[in-house]
């Protein structure tokens, strides 16, 4: 899906749908991280109006999602715990520092990588939200209509956020082909990380 090279293990879907409360709690943390990451990128590039406007708009949407997830958590009598260390995002950032196989992007290379990492995180959320929707569709009993409607809406948002990040990266990098090659390279690394994390920790997480 989108640029992803490694699909999520179907066993993850069983884990997530059998513990929708844990999924919601992890999801809340992801929305907050998505908002703060977008804001921190916008804050670092105040001279780039397109980045500032696109990413503050995206952050507003992520905060709206965050509030809605928190309300769902409260309504279900669950507790929003402290977020665990984000191994997935940490490994992704570290992987971006490894030597590249592709010609170096000369212009704004660090910014391009940060935008592409944002794109990959959105792509993985999009894939997993769609898996949740399909799994809830397949349930004969116990389908959760609120979760179904929510994840159907969010799956489309994540696809849009993915495109926003890729477009901003292409614009910042000034060379569309090189940015696409770099996205493919990072997507391969992302696939390896997801597979490694699935072996180590198999929980109802939106990422990893």
**Sign of the Cα pseudo-torsion (198, 200, 204, 208, in order):** negative
Cα separations in angstroms, 176 against 28, 119, 171? 33, 15, 8
Kindly tell me which residue out of 26, 48, 62, 127 binds Fe ion, with binding defined by CB under 5 A. Answer: 62
Quote the least distance from Cβ 154 to Fe ion, whole Å.
6
Quote the least distance from Cβ 155 to Fe ion, whole Å.
10
Quote the least distance from Cβ 120 to Fe ion, whole Å.
12
For Fe ion, which is the closer residue by CB, 39 or 181?
39
Kindly tell me which residue out of 65, 170, 182, 207 binds Fe ion, with binding defined by CB under 5 A. Answer: 65
Contact between 29 and Fe ion by CB under 5 A: the answer reads: no
Per CB under 5 A, contacts with Fe ion among 154-193 are 158, 161
- 143-152 long-range contacts (CB < 8 A, ≥24 apart) are 144/20, 146/72, 147/20, 150/68, 150/72
Per CB under 5 A, contacts with Fe ion among 120-139 are 122
Quote the least distance from Cβ 159 to Fe ion, whole Å.
9
Residues forming the site for Fe ion (CB under 5 A): 31, 34, 62, 65, 122, 158, 161
């Amino acid at each position: 899906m989108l640029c992803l090279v490694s699909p999520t293990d179907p066993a993850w879907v069983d884990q997530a749908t059998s513990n929708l409360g844990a999924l919601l709690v992890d999801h809340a943390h992801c929305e907050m991280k998505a908002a703060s990451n977008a804001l921190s990128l916008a804050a670092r590039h105040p001279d780039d109006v397109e980045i500032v406007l696109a990413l503050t708009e995206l952050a507003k949407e992520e905060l709206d999602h965050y509030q809605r997830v928190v309300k769902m958590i409260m309504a279900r009598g669950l507790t929003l715990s402290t977020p665990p260390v984000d191994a997935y995002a940490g490994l992704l950032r570290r992987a971006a520092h490894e030597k590249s196989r592709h010609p170096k992007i000369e212009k704004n290379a660090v910014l391009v990588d940060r935008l592409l990492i944002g794109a990959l995180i959105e792509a993985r959320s999009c894939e997993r939200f769609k898996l949740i929707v399909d799994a809830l569709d397949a349930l004969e009993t116990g389908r959760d209509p609120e979760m179904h409607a929510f994840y159907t809406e969010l799956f489309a948002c994540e696809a849009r956020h993915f495109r926003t990040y890729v477009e901003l990266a292409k614009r910042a990098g000034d060379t569309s082909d090189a940015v696409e090659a770099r996205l493919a390279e990072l997507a391969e690394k992302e696939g390896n990380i997801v597979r490694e994390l699935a072996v180590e920790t198999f929980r109802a997480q939106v990422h990893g």
